[in-house]
Chains A and B, each alone.
Chain A
């Protein structure tokens, strides 16, 4: 795939006229998707896709085209040449773009993954789960990202991973969710996850507990906390959102006294993530970008376009200026002490469908989901019927944060909209006081 892309880039070099420049990005994958329901296979299949995005630039004008590649060089030469011609026609009608900005220094990089994917994980999965109400998806295969430009820069990132994202159901909405992701399948790890999930499933067989709306002490698992950070990543950390006052962190930005708990240090940690370290305008991402340091707003994610518009340096953010590799620093609280400290409260493994009740105040709502437990006197008593929360970030990770756990989990994003995600997060769990439930 890498050789194919670079050969295509060489072809593109020859398509240019006069003082034109091109930037291009390849996103491709060879994926297997197997969907399960009730311990049986629902929809199995393969997807092989290759997309090329080309920016054709002349002086201060730019036009972008995306196309599906066939994988046949002759056919793809024709498609690329046709696209260049179409883009060139459009360029004539455009005015100068004052915020056009792309990398002009050449930084070629290469990160090549090794394919250690298991040949027969599926057989093991099926044999391990068919006696249970198992539902979810196994996604695996190669993910390939490349960048090239007419200045000679070439970047390549490939990885081969699997992501089994599943739930065991007891009945109705009572279920345990788990996931096993990685590059190298290890049966003992998978079987241990199955065992742990089945143990939690036993608790779900107890009579569920219903609480009345009000404030409760809660433990948010790393997975639950990830849902909150994913909501925040929607226009929370980007420079454009901040300058246009659309950021959910507006109060922190406008009011110096407004900050989060001093134990909250949040970083875009590209070095520890699995996403490519380059972006579609050719810029290389720094190893880390501090977003919030010791509870205080630190820096924004800055795309090249925002950098030009607002006169600051880019840090290689994508166009959407969203984090891809979250890193929330560990706290000093032992995971083993969670139930004891929770005393009477709610152990939340998963949150679901978050959105803002009042974005400017960073007040958010969402639901508990999957294995959420009612805890009394430091012991799990019963599964909790789903509840809606409505709370501000300034309480959850601010005034009402009791502690973050010392242990952290590495979460690989399961998103497969249009392509398999390379997002990830390394997060602790959080103990929070007076977490408000409303419905």
Chain B
């Protein structure tokens, strides 16, 4: 199909435009879900379409269609050209040097999705589901596998040609325990454990056997006291760190937010253009990278959706803000160097600045050393609640699991743990960064942003991290 699309694109390229491109995306997915030991109808999806983009005489326009015939592409090209004729644009788009790269990228795969039959995969989910029910206080539980496969083709009028192929597996186990007006959750969440690859991800993430563990932990939480309210040290597990990175480092550093594109919806940023190169974002222990090179991570790729080659880049080094998250367009608008992060959720949405993989690099502390260093603190894991202001400064996050740390030892489990703070000061209170043994590669399939709205897959990897003087509190 891709070669046919290529032939048709070259037939419909208009004469005398400054730039035009075609972005083809085909995505197939399948989701299997067993809830309370009953398999729900399997869901498969096949989506395919193209977006044509034209830049001409300073204007830019796009048109997206699922009609892949030559006439369909020709009509879409005509509409994109019409949009490009609109004046009063934010910049002269014709002055932007659009990439014209050639290359390819392919996910690394060990166990293909279809190496197990649908019956075998459902058996696996049934088996894990059966482990979740321990007693009548476990009121709901479900297990699921979500597989996605994408094929992308990006062509430009001057011979740019990029082919990329990705496969993802996103597993989930979710358990709810209840007693009266007390409800507690434990999840092996699809918002956390998605990776690139195949069924080997189940082995790498420890999916099998997780159901019973989560159910036991949910019952523990049900019997636990509320998290205390006080200012204390807080040690965050990687499955909470990813949310902390995402909301209070990732979004504020997106160049399109800093440029104001998102102010009507996702918001602005407390970060300004003059901060890059000098601003002390965090303590000297903080090292953050844009890293598309980890093969298993959710947003690893060779090129972004405007054809820019992706490479590992330090965003924050030893606590100092270095590089913004901005693609070709944002780089041209600001004169700053950026990264290859212009991405679109599908063929029917235009590329905007997104996070891709944004990781906190590992440090030197062992988990035991971190715990031993805490006089009074709390260990929190698994994100449950998230909220942050539109400048990405005042945040409040909640976790499923809390465990107090007293005089250097993990002690009482507590329920409903929350904490709040301000991005600009929180990261400067980073006291210890965990080593390789505490490091996990995780990912989030649902990052929302943009007008029109877009959901996209992003990756975050992090070790366990320790912060001082954080405002912690519990439930009602």
Q: Give complex CA distance A245, B137 in Å.
A: 10
Given contacts A41-B88, A47-B64, contact A352 B83 (CB under 8 A): no
Complex CA distance for A228 and B89, rounded to whole angstroms: 36
A205 sits at the interface (CB 8 A): no
Q: Are A250 and B183 neighbours in the complex by a CB distance under 8 Å?
A: yes
B204 to chain A, nearest CB (A): 26
User: Do B140 and A35 have beta carbons less than 8 Å apart?
Assistant: no
Of the residues A62, A165, A356, A365, contact of B41 by C-beta under 8 Å: A62
B259-283 CB mask vs A (1 if < 8 Å, else 0) is 1110111011000000000000000
What separation, in Å, do the CA atoms of A48 and B49 have in the docked complex?
A: 10
Contact A48 B67 (CB under 8 A): yes
Is B369 interfacial (CB-CB < 8 Å)?
no
Of listed A67, A79, A354, residue having the most chain B CB within 10 A: A67
When the two chains form their complex, are residues A68 and B66 in contact, meaning their CB atoms are under 8 A apart?
Answer: yes
Residue from the list A66, A133, A169 in contact with B45, Cβ < 8 A: A66
Given A64-B43, A254-B180, also A45-B80 (CB < 8 A): yes
Q: Closest CB of chain A to B187's CB: distance in Å?
A: 12
Distance between Cα atoms of A1 and B41 in the complex (Å) = 28
Flag whether A183 is at the interface (Cβ < 8 A).
no
Report the separation of the CA atoms of residues A35 and B69 in the bound assembly, to the nearest whole angstrom.
28
User: Residues 25-41 of chain B: 1 if any A CB is under 8 Å from the residue's CB, otherwise 0?
Assistant: 00000000000001111
Shortest CB distance B47–A (Å): 5
Q: Report how far A96 CA is from B219 CA in the complex, Å.
A: 31
Among A154-203, those with CB < 8 Å from B are: 165-167, 169, 172-173, 175, 177
A353 to B261, Cβ gap below 8 A? Answer: no
B178 in the interface, Cβ–Cβ < 8 Å? Answer: yes
In Å, the complex CA distance between A43 and B471 comes to 41
Instruction: Indicate if B160 sits at the interface (CB-CB under 8 A).
Output: no
Q: B17 interface residue, CB < 8 Å from A?
A: no
* Distance (whole angstroms) from the CB of A71 to the closest CB of chain B: 5
Which parts of B46-63 form the interface with A (CB within 8 Å)? 46-49, 51, 59-63
Q: Which of A172, A251, A365 has the most CB of B within 10 A?
A: A365
Q: Given A40, A68, A353, A416, which contacts B90 in the complex, CB threshold below 8 Å?
A: A40
Is residue B176 contacting chain A, with contact meaning CB distance below 8 A?
Answer: yes
A271 part of interface (Cβ distance < 8 Å): no
The B-contacting residues of A in range 378-400, CB under 8 angstroms, are 386, 388, 390, 392
Given A67-B46, A353-B388, CB of A135 within 8 Å of CB of B88: no
Question: How far apart sit A48 and B78, CA to CA, in the bound complex (Å)?
Answer: 14
Instruction: Find the B residue at minimum CB distance from A169.
Output: B263
Whether B44 contacts A86 by the Cβ 8 Å rule is: yes
Answer yes or no: B68 CB below 8 A from chain A CBs. yes
Within the complex, what minimum Cβ distance (angstroms) separates A6 from chain B? Answer: 19
- For window 36-76 of chain A, which residues contact chain B by CB distance below 8 Å? 37-51, 55, 62-72, 75
Complex contact B139–A439 (CB within 8 A): no
**Contact between B44 and A65, CB atoms less than 8 A apart:** yes
* A42, A98, A255, A416: the one within 8 Å of B452 (CB): A416
Which residue of the partner chain B has the closest CB to A358? Answer: B475
Interface size grouping (class) on chain A: 35 or more
Which among B68, B89, B268, B389 has the highest number of chain A CB atoms within 10 Å?
B389
Q: Which of B64-82 contact A (CB under 8 A)?
A: 64-69, 72, 76, 79-80
CB-CB under 8 A from A415, the residues of chain B are: 453
Contacts of B66 in A (CB 8 A): 48-50, 68-71
Are the C-beta atoms of A135 and B263 separated by less than 8 Å?
yes
B157 at the interface (CB under 8 A from A): no
The reply to whether A166 and B264 form a contact with Cβ atoms under 8 Å apart is yes
- Give Cα A360 to B183, complex, Å: 6
B42: Cβ under 8 A from any A Cβ = yes
Instruction: Give B110-149 as 1s and 0s: 1 = Cβ < 8 Å from A's Cβ atoms.
Output: 0000000111001000000000000000011000000000
Q: Hey, which chain A residues are within 8 Å of B394, CB to CB?
A: 367, 386, 388, 439
**CB <8 Å contact, A417 and B350:** no
User: How does the 8 Å CB contact mask read for A239-269 relative to B, with 1 for contact and 0 for none?
Assistant: 0000011100011001100000000000000
Chain A residues with Cβ under 8 A from B80's Cβ? 45-46
Question: Could you tell me the distance between the alpha carbons of A97 and B176 in the complex, rounded to whole angstroms?
Answer: 22
| CB–CB A173/B391 < 8 A | yes
B156 contacts partner chain A, Cβ-Cβ < 8 Å: no
A363 at the interface (CB under 8 A from B): yes
Cβ-defined contact, A93 with B117, below 8 A: yes
With an 8 A cutoff between CB atoms, is B385 at the interface?
yes
CB-CB under 8 A from A99, the residues of chain B are 38, 40
User: CB < 8 Å: which of A34, A48, A177, A353 contacts B389?
Assistant: A353
Quick check: A390 and B176 within 8 Å, CB to CB? no
Interface string of B382-406 (1 = CB under 8 A from A): 0001111111001010100000000
Return the contact of A97 from the options B38, B67, B420 (Cβ within 8 A). Answer: B38
A85 interface hit (Cβ, 8 Å): no
In the complex, what residues of B have CB within 8 A of residue A72's CB?
Answer: 67, 69, 72
- Beyond A90-B42, A93-B122, A353-B389, whether A35 also contacts B62 by CB under 8 A is no
For chain A, residues 328 to 362, give those with C-beta under 8 angstroms from any C-beta of chain B: 352-361
Question: Does A137 lie at the interface of the complex (its beta carbon under 8 Å from any beta carbon of B)?
Answer: yes
Q: Does A369 contact B (CB under 8 A)?
A: yes
- In the complex the two chains form, is B390's CB within 8 Å of A369's CB? yes
- Given known contacts A44-B83, A63-B41, A361-B476, A355 and B46 CB-to-CB distance under 8 angstroms: no
| Interface assignment of A7: CB less than 8 Å from any CB of chain B | no
Say yes or no: is B313 at the interface (Cβ < 8 Å to chain A): no
Chain A positions within 8 Å of B86 at CB level: 34, 41, 44, 122
Find out whether the CB atom of B260 lies under 8 angstroms from the CB atom of A45. Answer: no
Question: Is A316 at the interface (CB under 8 A from chain B)?
Answer: no
Cross-chain contact of A246 among B183, B352, B390, B475 (Cβ < 8 A): B183
Question: B263 to A175, Cβ gap below 8 A?
Answer: yes
Are the CB atoms of B42 and A35 closer together than 8 Å? no
A81 to B414, CA, bound (A): 54
Inter-chain contacts of A212 with B (CB < 8 A): none
Q: Is B182 an interface residue (CB 8 A)?
A: yes
Given contacts A72-B69, A415-B453, A416-B452, contact A386 B390 (CB under 8 A): yes
- Tell me the bound Cα distance from A416 to B61 in angstroms: 19
Interface residue A366 (Cβ < 8 Å from any Cβ of B): yes
Q: Which residues of A contact B263 (CB under 8 A)?
A: 37, 135, 167, 169, 175
CB-contact partner of A417 in B47, B119, B454, under 8 A: B454
**Residues in chain A near residue B178, CB distance under 8 A:** 244-245
Do the beta carbons of B139 and A71 come within 8 Å of each other?
A: no
Q: Enumerate chain A residues within 8 angstroms of B40, measured Cβ to Cβ.
A: 97, 99, 305
Is the CB–CB distance between A38 and B260 below 8 Å? yes
Q: Which of A55, A71, A363, A367 contacts B390 (CB 8 A)?
A: A367
Interface assignment of B97: CB less than 8 Å from any CB of chain A:
no
Which residues of the other chain, B, contact A175 by a CB distance below 8 angstroms? 263
Task: Kindly list chain B residues whose C-beta atoms are within 8 Å of the C-beta of A287.
Answer: none
28 A-B contacts (beta carbon < 8 Å): A33-B452, A37-B90, A37-B263, A43-B62, A45-B80, A48-B76, A49-B66, A51-B47, A55-B41, A66-B45, A67-B47, A68-B48, A68-B66, A70-B66, A71-B66, A72-B72, A100-B41, A126-B88, A136-B264, A172-B268, A175-B263, A244-B139, A244-B140, A355-B387, A358-B474, A367-B387, A417-B453, A418-B455
List the 3 closest pairs (A to B, CB-CB), nearest first: A45-B62, A244-B140, A245-B178
Which A residues contact B (CB, under 8 angstroms)?
31, 33-35, 37-51, 55, 62-72, 75, 79, 83, 86-87, 90, 93-95, 97-100, 122, 126, 130, 133, 135-137, 139, 165-167, 169, 172-173, 175, 177, 244-246, 250-251, 254-255, 305, 352-361, 363, 365-367, 369, 386, 388, 390, 392, 415-418, 420, 438-439
Interface, chain B (partner A; CB < 8 A)? 38-49, 51, 59-69, 72, 76, 79-80, 83, 86-90, 117-119, 122, 139-140, 176, 178, 180-183, 185, 259-261, 263-265, 267-268, 348-350, 352, 385-391, 394, 396, 398, 416, 418, 420, 422, 448, 451-455, 471, 474-476
